[in-house]
């Protein structure tokens, strides 16, 4: 599109940049390039990277190790790594309604139990800052059956 605007319609680079809302350097690079545009980003290490060597070693020792056993043997490192660090989880649903999300109250209770075991739970009761000028007090998903709208 940029090449067509520049070569076909004879628009200057500055005008193309203004029309498309991009920088003139981007327009110049697109015109100079013969290849189609491509997005590239440097690879970043994943959260799994610190444990990859241990997991690979366990798989080399026992190739048929079940995933659950592999997770248990690696979990000690994950737990130690996570201790002393903060994790913030937010939800507009009360704990009692979490079974609606997971489809099973027992599964939801088990997951919440594991998450809040060593947690400090802060429940904020009040109107949402996001909803302050909308005339809505709470989102429908957060309302209990007896909460007024």
Residue 10's region, left for phi above 0, alpha for psi from -120 to 50, else beta, is left
Supply the pLDDT for residue 14.
92
CA triple 56-87-132, angle to 5 deg: 140
Residues 93 and 138 in one domain: yes
63 domain-assigned: yes
129 domain-assigned: yes
Phi, psi of 111 (to 5 degrees): -65, -45
Residues 79 and 92 in one domain: no
Residues 94 and 135 in one domain: yes
Identify the domain containing residue 126 by its residue range.
86-144
54 domain-assigned: yes
64 domain-assigned: yes
Supply the pLDDT for residue 139.
62
Say if CB 54 and CB 77 are below 8 A apart.
Answer: yes
Number of domains in the chain: 3
Residues 92 and 78 in one domain: no
C-beta contacts of 121-128 below 8 A and 24+ residues apart: 128/92
Cα 108 from Cα 100, distance rounded (Å): 9
Supply the pLDDT for residue 137.
64
Per-residue pLDDT of the chain (149 residues), as tens digits, is 888 888 888 899 999 999 889 999 989 998 998 888 777 778 877 777 777 788 888 888 888 877 777 777 766 554 544 556 676 777 777 777 777 777 778 877 887 887 777 777 777 766 666 677 777 766 665 555 555 54
Supply the pLDDT for residue 17.
92
Cα 115 from Cα 84, distance rounded (Å): 15
Residues 96 and 130 in one domain: yes
């Amino acid at each position: 599109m940029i090449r067509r605007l520049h070569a076909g319609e004879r628009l200057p680079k500055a005008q193309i940049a203004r029309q498309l809302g991009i920088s003139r350097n981007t327009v110049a690079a697109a015109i100079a390039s013969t290849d189609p545009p491509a997005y590239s980003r440097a690879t970043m290490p994943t959260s799994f990277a610190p444990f990859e060597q241990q997991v690979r070693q366990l798989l080399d020792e026992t190739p048929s190790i079940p995933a659950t056993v592999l997770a248990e043997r690696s979990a000690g490192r994950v737990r130690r790594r996570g201790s002393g660090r903060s994790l913030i989880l937010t939800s507009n649903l009360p704990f009692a309604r979490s079974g609606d999300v997971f489809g099973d109250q027992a599964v939801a209770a088990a997951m919440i139990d594991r998450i809040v075991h060593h947690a400090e739970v802060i429940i904020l009761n009040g109107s949402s800052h996001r909803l302050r000028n909308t005339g809505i007090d709470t989102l429908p998903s957060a309302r209990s059956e007896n909460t007024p709208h």
